[in-house]
Structure 1
Amino acid sequence: MSKRRIKKVAIIGSGIMGSGIACHFANIGVDVLLLDIVPRELNEKEKASGLSLEDKVVRNRIVNTALQTSLKSKPSPIYHQKFADRITTGNLEDDIAKVADVDWIMEVVVERLDIKKQVFEKLEKHRTPGTIISSNTSGIPIKFMNEGRSEDFRKHFAVTHFFNPPRYLKLFEVVPGPDCKQEVTDFLMEYGEKFLGKTSVLAKDTPAFIGNRIGIFGIQSLFHQVKELGLTVEEVDKLTGPVIGRPKSATFRTVDVVGLDTLVHVANGIYDNCPDDEAHELFKLPDFIKTMMENKWLGSKTGQGFYKKSVSKDGQKEILALDLDTMEYRPSKKAKFATLELTKTIDKPIDRFKVLIGGKDKAAEFYRKNFAAMFAYVQNRIPEISDELYRIDDAMKAGFGWENGPFEIWDAVGIEKGIELMKAEGHEPATWVTEMLNKGETSFYTVKNGATYYYDIPAQAQTKKPGQEAFIILDNIRTSNEVFKNSGVVIEDLGDGILNCEFQSKMNTIGGDVLAGLNKAVDLAEKDFDGLVIGNQAANFSVGANIGMIFMMAVEQEYDELNMAIKYFQDTMMRMRYSAIPTVSAPHGMALGGACELSMHADKVVAAAETYIGLVEFGVGVIPGGAGSKEMALRASDTFHKGDVELNVLQEYFLTVGMAKVATSAYEAFDMGVLQKGKDIVVVNKDRQIATAKAHARLMADAGYTQPVPRKDVKVLGKQALGMFLVGTDSMEASHYISEHDQKIANKLAYVMAGGDLSEPTLVSEQYLLDLEREAFLSLCTERKTLERIQHMLKTGKPLRN
């Protein structure tokens, strides 16, 4: 059997989802044909331009407008704006024959069976036999969509359900049709993981599949509880947000973002199509939701939902919250609960659940009721929506951004305790749960030899979760493979001669312990191993240097200690670059300031596509002081080519630092010179990142890695560059584009990147630039306005312009 390759896809329907999916295929390098309907009439602008319905620009208006709207939306659906060139637009009349040349056709039109059937009828006339065809429906049963289709169509037909926005949400539900070939299902599952960077979850053809069936149950359950427990909208969002490992937008804010109408549509679908669901009545909409629907309070898209932005009498922006009793908006209030205070010292959400259900206040009562309802519901959905319990957890984590799935939470509170909570609310454990306990199995999941096992219900035994070969899960190997540990890092043996240095500090900030750990990791790797990966699987790689520590030293005017601390940071970065073993950095999420400097000093960067990386030190009133300013001068020098206006090249690098630019994807970081083409690589699936980084470290070691020699050939431009920069910052300050303090910081950076006020272009060593950088950094730490900026950032998390 020949291997199936996807070089070109056709997306039918260019609405929010269709355009988003088209952009994500373009993200991964696939050629996309995006088609939509032809307009029935001219708009005012077209009439004024004298165009007719036959003109190509009119015929493709719907698809082109939709795609342009999508590309302008924030957050962006595309890794890099130039990737949009991979998308060709067209319409379903003139261009439908082109689907004969694609490898996969995906239908993303409105959720109406009659329209979908018409589209499939048209597509079948042009589709090449053997081509995969799928629908992104979230609720129409496959047997209805398959009606009247040929055998070849049915054998290659499945539902491939993305969650919105397709670039950011990781869930990819694959629902094979009744006649779909096993090889097609297997291919879609693997493609989702490997190429689209998703968590592929095999689902059955049941209403709302897995993610929405459980997710909407959870939200509807809350809608009914909120009145019963007398909780406010803000209180529920406080209880269902980061404290339990859920997104900041928690419940009601998420509904506002998604749109209440979308939620109601899915809830009604479940209510109508699942008459035998034991929680059937729960999918009925409470009165306050009906009122909101009538008032068109649908959330962000209509300007108000559970929350509403407003401007107070004194011109201050404020957020109003909906009072569910009076159905009127009032200023939102901060929510506080004693039980939540008890979890402040517990870092990981999974460790908080036991404490949360044990409290005496309304919050603890809410959690007991909430988890009881959720445990009871998910246990009864097997085997209805899935045969394996881990698929339910995977769907909730990937589709709704939960850190832990329902069965993982149940494990965390204890299975017996979970049953006790359920019984208190009038629910009974499912037969399979009782049988499992009778067999002496006390948890849904176990970890053996670095792999995750789950309780397999038909086999009544722990079975290895499939597909882990491509992953390294640090949680599973941390204790068994630990080589060294301090309060800032854990160093693990990844096997095959490669070590991993994992940050463990708050938000993975880089302070003294982390730097000591990094040095230790290089020492250990040089002595007994072949390579080193710096990677972790937290929400963010690292938010940068520990500015709190810098602030304390600067305020107490301990300048000798501060100088030593900066030098220690610089030396550690240089130690990584000039070690005897290959070093590979694996950034993902936020990789700011010092974390960006660290990545720039590794031999190779294996970045997750979703990496927000940049040198942001200007925001706290300093310049990059962990070898970042030096490195930008060095990289500018390396890109000088014969005939270049070298000043212009240097200016680009200077502006990247001076404007504190942050890439909004790893691909944008190449444009900024933070990642380097031909050396650094991007991985779309973050779960594969550590394994990929390890493989590259191994490859470099096997290729005969030689310890590099420190550079003494960095070309700096001296006075010529410095003069240009100073004139530039002067005019920017004069036109009030930057503040006086901004100018002072920019001038310090200019001095470093120009290599000082040398009379002519000169070749200097890295150490020369590091000394200039450190001196500049230190002098800025003596400035009151810099200290104000650092303090403001520590207090609010936002930069101050002073």
Structure 2
Amino acid sequence: MAFERVVVIGSGVMGAGIAAHCANAGCSVVLLDIVPDGADDRNQLADSAVKQMLKSDPEMLMLPEYAERIEVGNLEDDLERLAQADWIVEVVLERLDIKHSVFEKIEAHRRPGSLVTSNTSTIPRAKLMQGMPDSLAREFIITHFFNPPRYLPLLEIVSGDEVDSELLDSFCEFAEIGLGKRVIVCNDTPGFIGNRIAMFFGQSAINATVDLELTVEQTDAMLSRPIGVPKTGVFGLFDLVGVDLIPHILDSMLGELPEDDGLCQIVAHREMLEEMIADGWVGRKGKGGFYRLNTEDGKRVKEARNLQTGEYAPADRRAAFPSAKRGKLGIRQVMEHGDTGSQLVRRVVVDTLAYVCGLVPEVTDSIDDIDSAMRVGFMWKRGPFEMIDDIGADWLVAALEADGKPVPEFLARAADSGCYKVEGGELLSLTHSGEHEVCERPLEALTVADLKRRGTPLKKNGSASLWDLGDDVLLVEYHSKMNAMDPLSMEMLLSAVEEAESGDWKGIVIGNDGQHFCAGA
């Protein structure tokens, strides 16, 4: 099935981002929203969203003219447009009553065979389909995009037993190839994979920051690059996402999770967030959050919030503890250093990894999918189970026992055999049953590391290698410093062209697993 005609309902940041990305993929898009009270332009919200796309930073659209692929409308005058759609995606407020109202309108106007999806970030599919007709449930899945949709590859999908398998497979193929997404199919649980883990990690960091009397700069300096997490850290990420969204995400998840879930057990300091939100400190989209940019006196000074007093002062750009420098040697080296920064890292990382071990097989049967979700959705250098192997599962077991905390059954198994191992050139991952199985990945997710496990390059020099990627395609991998172009990498490119022209090769791909594709020449 082709997904050429798309209707996006909801023109907020996520709705607009999804509409723009579908336009980038060549789809014809209709963007709908409500009619604002007293508005002269009944399409005001959707029209404003398209205009904002042209000014967005980073750019939502690959080319400005792609905005012409997006038509605008509203949910009162334009519902008949649903009948022409191949895919209808709902991106409205995270309120079940509002979503159900939208679903009823969709079902009344769509054509049979079209796919309906929700971009909910936390609400289980079972709740979304309560009271909905079977005809909708058979053609309804969750498609959880990550913001910004053009740049973050992760797409979490939640399906159901009643969903047409051919329709699901067709959409997954479209999402992977047409939209360029790394599709992870999750079980139907609150927060799915990414948000479930990220919320625990963030809440644990808040608690440790308060308990250890640290500043937001100190916490972000330690819970970022030293452990393989983006430099925004925790509080910087809250500002980016929106401080006002954090309680909503937590409330939605806490309302569905059992009271004995690890996340429910650690939620604290809500009053701090509520006070910030009440005073308008909601993050980058407002006047600031945990950080703000002070432009008084004509200067641009980054300031950080004091968690105890709520006052702002110039941010400390040298807030990292000495243990941060040991991050290059591994997370375990940071945690064993002994300074206050290492105490913070040890507490947050150990507790988070233990929590994640308890999510298997609840959120998914595959630890590789969990690792992939955190790498491509949150830009972690390593996923949780890759961290466990790097640190040592036996070390983590000893740390939990020393803290008087229970050891998850999965972590105990990992201490015996590891989360991952390589056999016959294939990467195997530990399952809940204690066995290791091959990590099945789509061709689109193939990495150079996968090729290295399976064999040796066709050619290699000090800056680049030539690999057989499969399907009669060659891969040129740069591995110079920051993958910068130099005479040796140019030599390998020319060699690849000669090889392709002299053999039965269909094409050449240039790629690598590095943080930077190519830093220049």
TM-score (norm: length of structure 1): 0.60
Partner SS, residue 308 of structure 2: coil
Q: 1:453 to 1:187 in 2, by over 3 A?
A: farther
Q: Does 1:186 align with 2:169?
A: yes
Q: Provide the residue aligned with 2:117 in structure 1.
A: 134
Residue equivalent to 2:383: 405
Asked if residue 19 in structure 1 is aligned to residue 16 in structure 2, the reply is yes
Q: What is the deviation of 1:188?
A: 3.3
Residue identity opposite 2:357 in structure 1: Q
User: Counterpart in 2 of 1:98?
Assistant: 81
Q: What do residues 589-620 of structure 1 show as CA deviations (whole Å, max 9, x unaligned)?
A: xxxxxxxxxxxxxxxxxxxxxxxxxxxxxxxx
- Counterpart among 395, 420, 424 of residue 398 in structure 2: 420
Structure 1 residue matching 2:147: 3-state secondary structure: coil
- CA deviations 1:693-752 (Å, max 9, x no partner) are xxxxxxxxxxxxxxxxxxxxxxxxxxxxxxxxxxxxxxxxxxxxxxxxxxxxxxxxxxxx
Local SS of the residue matching 1:260: coil
CA radius of gyration, larger in: 1
Taking a change above 3 Å as real, the CA distance of residues 151 and 282 of structure 1, as seen in their structure-2 partners, is same
Q: Please, which of 7, 11, 28 is the counterpart of residue 31 of structure 1? A: 28
Residue number among 291, 294, 307 corresponding to 1:324 in the alignment: 307
Determine the C-alpha separation between the residues in 1 that align with 2:332 and 2:174. Answer: 38
Equivalent residues of 2:33, 2:45 under 8 A apart: yes
Corresponding residue number in structure 2 for 1:717:
none
Instruction: Determine the C-alpha separation between the residues in 1 that align with 2:470 and 2:127.
Output: 50
2:435 is matched with which residue: 461, 467, 474? Answer: 461
Name the SS of the counterpart of 1:147 in structure 2.
coil
Q: Give the match for residue 535 of structure 1.
A: 511
In the TM superposition, 1:277-296 aligns within 5 A as 277-296=261-280
In the alignment, the residues of structure 2 paired with residue 66 and residue 386 of structure 1 have an alpha-carbon distance, to the nearest angstrom, of 35
Percent identity for Structure 1 against Structure 2: 35
Map 1:41-190 to 2 at 5 A.
Answer: 41-42=38-39, 46=40, 58-177=41-160, 179-190=162-173
C-alpha distance 121-411 of structure 1, shift in aligned 2 (>3 A): same
Q: C-alpha distance in 2, partners of 1:176/1:114? A: 21
Determine the C-alpha separation between the residues in 1 that align with 2:361 and 2:471.
40
In 1, Cα distance between equivalents of 2:435 and 2:123: 35
1:517/1:160 CA distance change after superposition, 3 Å: closer
Q: Which amino acid aligns with 1:489?
A: A
For the residue of structure 1 that corresponds to 2:285, the secondary structure is helix
SS at match of 1:173: strand
Structure 2: how far apart are the matches of 1:206 and 1:150?
Answer: 21
SS of 2:20's equivalent? helix
Once the 2 structures are TM-superposed, how far is the Cα of residue 284 of structure 1 from its aligned partner? 3.2
Distance 1:533 1:191 in 2: 21
Partner of 1:337: 321
Structure 1 residue 232 displacement after superposition? 1.4
C-alpha contact 2:224 2:233 (8 A) present in aligned 1: yes
Question: What is the CA–CA distance in structure 1 between the aligned matches of 2:32 and 2:296, rounded to whole Å?
Answer: 46
Checking the alignment, whether the CA contact within 8 Å between 1:268 and 1:283 is kept in structure 2 is no
Residue 198 (structure 1) shift: 1.2
CA contact (8 A) 1:233 1:322 kept: yes
Matching residue within 219, 231, 245 for 2:228: 245
Displacement after TM superposition at 1:218 (Å)? 0.5
Per the TM alignment, residue 214 of structure 1 is displaced from its structure 2 partner at its CA by: 0.6
Q: Is the 8 A contact 1:376 1:427 kept in 2?
A: no
Q: Counterpart amino acid of 1:453? A: L
Classify 1:172/1:496 alpha carbon distance in 2 versus 1 (closer, same or farther; 3 Å).
Answer: closer
Please give the TM-score of this superposition, normalised by the length of structure 2: 0.91
User: Counterpart of 1:223?
Assistant: 206
C-alpha separation between the residues in 1 aligned to 2:408 and 2:441? 28
Range moving further from structure 2, 162-171 or 514-523: 514-523
Deviations 1:547-577 (A, max 9, x none): xxxxxxxxxxxxxxxxxxxxxxxxxxxxxxx
- Is contact 2:447–2:512 with CA below 8 Å preserved after alignment? no
Question: Retained in 2: the 8 A contact 1:39–1:62?
Answer: yes
Q: Is 1:371 equivalent to 2:368 in the alignment?
A: no
* Matching residue's letter, 1:478: K
1:392 counterpart (370, 380, 398):
370
Secondary structure of the structure 1 residue equivalent to 2:301: strand
* AA of the residue aligned to 1:377: Y
Quote how far apart the aligned CAs of 1:329 are. Answer: 0.8
Task: Work out the CA distance in 1 between the residues paired with 2:125 and 2:472.
Answer: 49
* Cα distance change, pair 87–408 in 1 and its aligned pair in 2 (3 A): same
Relative CO higher for 1 or 2, CA cutoff 8 Å, sep ≥ 6?
A: 2
Counterpart position of 2:480: 505
The answer as to whether partners of 1:172 and 1:200 remain within 8 angstroms in 2 is: yes
Match of 2:456 in 1: 481
* Cα distance, 1:269 vs structure 2: 2.1
Specify the code of the residue in structure 2 equivalent to 1:519.
E
Shift of 1:296: 2.2
Residues 16 and 70 in structure 1, CA contact (< 8 A), matched pair in contact too? no
Which residue is 2:491 aligned to? 519
Paired AA for residue 543 in structure 1: A
Matching residue of 2:289 = 305
Report deviation, 1:81: 1.0
Aligned Cα RMSD in Å? 2.5
Q: Which amino acid in 2 is paired with 1:506?
A: K
**Counterpart Cα distance in 1 of 2:470 and 2:285:** 50
The 1:448/1:517 distance shift into structure 2, 3 A limit, reads: farther
Segments of 5+ residues of structure 2 without an aligned counterpart are: none
1: distance between equivalents of 2:474 and 2:146? 36
Relative distance call for 1:94 and 1:489 in structure 2 (3 A) is: same
Aligned AA (1:365): Q
Label 1:178 to 1:519 Cα distance change in 2 as closer, same or farther (>3 A). closer
C-alpha separation in 2, matches of 1:132 and 1:79:
26
Partner SS state of residue 304, structure 2: strand
Say which is worse superposed, 211-220 or 320-329, in terms of deviation.
Answer: 320-329
Other-structure match for 1:40: 37
- Equivalent-residue separation in structure 2 for 1:130 and 1:495 (angstroms): 35
Deviation at residue 225 of structure 1 after TM alignment = 0.5
Q: Please give the alpha-carbon distance, in whole angstroms, between the structure 2 residues aligned to 1:188 and 1:369.
A: 41
Aligned partners of 2:216 and 2:207: how far apart in 1?
12
Indicate conservation of the 8 Å contact 2:10/2:90, yes or no: yes
CA contact (8 A) 1:11 1:105 kept: yes
Q: Give unmatched runs, 5+ long, in structure 1.
A: 47-57, 546-802
SS in structure 2 of the partner of residue 106 of structure 1: strand
Cα contact 1:219–1:251 (8 A) shared by 2: yes
Superposed, 1:326-725 pairs within 5 Å as 326-333=309-316, 334-343=318-327, 346=328, 352-435=330-413, 437=415, 442-458=417-433, 460-478=434-452, 480-482=455-457, 487-494=462-469, 500-510=475-485, 514-519=486-491, 522=494, 526=498, 530=503, 533-545=509-521
CA distance in 2, matches of 1:92, 1:381: 39
Match of 1:765 in 2: none
| Aligned-partner SS, 2:158 | strand
Confirm or deny: 8 A CA contact 1:268 1:284 kept in the other structure.
no
Tell whether the 8 Å contact from 2:223 to 2:345 is kept in structure 1 after alignment. no
